[in-house]
Amino acid sequence: MDIFIQQIINGLVLGSIYALVALGYTMVYGIMGLINFAHGEVVMIGALTSLSIIKLLAGTSLPGPVVVLIGLAGAIPVCMALGFTIERVAYRPLRAAPRLAPLITAIGVSIVLQQVGMLIWGRNYHAFPGLLPTTPRHILGAQITDLQVLIVVLAALIMAALILLVNTTRIGRAMRATAENPDIAGLMGVDVNQIISITFVIGSALAAVAGVMVSANYSIAHYYMGFILGLKAFTAAVLGGIGNMGGAMLGGVLLGLIESLGAGYIGDLTGGFLGSNYQDVFAFFVLILVLVFRPSGLMGEKLAERA
């Protein structure tokens, strides 16, 4: 039983991070219908930028959490600028192009960012300095660290703020209108280009936060970390119903839970035939099952077949 609760906790932590990244995918997809393949690399750049800042300040007398906060504050504008530039350079000129053209530029951007990351930070794994309190607390026989609590709470706060932004502010209304129909939103006086830029900037800021969280949680960062994380987060977004923000949050948390529970129990379920190295299979298998029965994801709208 304590293993079960432990896996639930791990799953929640992992799921909150997935959810933050998935929001970046889903917001862009909702507005432009584009899979922003480079989003995972933005997470990586965010993680490594904050890491560099943190390493720089780790020797000073500043308390650990403050240092991490400064690192985060440094990474967010870098990622925002990056997201803005990516959209400007690689996606905006292709809005009228065939659907796969921006997908290829996205892949190109992703490759370029990965190599830039490697040139700046090298091929090595970077250890995240242990600046945050990691003393475990015991709950129902399971362990949870302050860092993990912080990740879940912070992720929840950010998501709540995002929901408020989208549902109550002027910008949020413009975003929803653009997602509904960019041309008509334009006629109603919405500056569509600006809204798309804002969407990218917000998504990238979330990516920066997620990047810091993931490297703090696993105490490691690497130029290649964005790829698989992006893949998982995109899976989460699709699981929840891509284009739907609530869906991305649900999908992220679900995927985190599925993965950690799957990894914990798959051995028992299959009599030892499949080990925890099938964790990823589990995630994708659930995704395929969900899509077979609900082709537009868990919370996706049922769309009429359109021409």
Find the shortest distance in angstroms from Cβ 233 to other proteins.
11
Shortest spacing between CB 112 and other proteins, in angstroms: 4
Contact 78, 45 (CB under 8 A): yes
Contact 41, 226 (CB under 8 A): yes
Alpha carbon distances (Å) from 121 to 39, 181, 215, 217, 262: 19, 41, 14, 20, 33
**Residue placing its CB nearer to other proteins in the complex, 133 or 275:** 275
Provide the minimum distance between the beta carbon of 126 and other proteins in the complex, in angstroms, as a whole number: 17
Cβ–Cβ < 8 Å for 267, 275: yes
Supply the minimum distance, in Å, between the C-beta of residue 210 and other proteins. 19
Pairing of strands 136-139, 142-145: antiparallel
Residue 149 makes CB contacts below 8 A (sequence gap 6+) with 137
Residues in contact with other proteins by the rule CB under 8 A: 29, 35, 89-90, 92-105, 107-112, 114-116, 118-119, 193, 231, 234-235, 238, 242, 272-275, 277-278, 280-281, 284-285, 287-288, 291-292, 295-297, 305-307
Per-residue tokens: 14: 């992992």
Q: Which is nearer to other proteins, 89 or 160 (CB)?
A: 89
Round to whole Å and give the CA distance between 123 and 134. 27
- What the block records as the tokens of 82 is 């990056």
Residue 2 Cβ vs other proteins, minimum distance, rounded to whole Å:
28
What single letter denotes the amino acid at residue 231?
Answer: L
CB of 139 to other proteins, least distance (A): 33
Nearer to other proteins (CB atom), residue 99 or residue 137: 99
Contact by Cβ (8 Å): 244, 300: yes
Query: Which CB, 72 or 233, lies closer to other proteins?
Result: 233
Residue among 111 and 140 whose Cβ is closer to other proteins: 111
Q: Which is nearer to other proteins, 115 or 168 (CB)?
A: 115
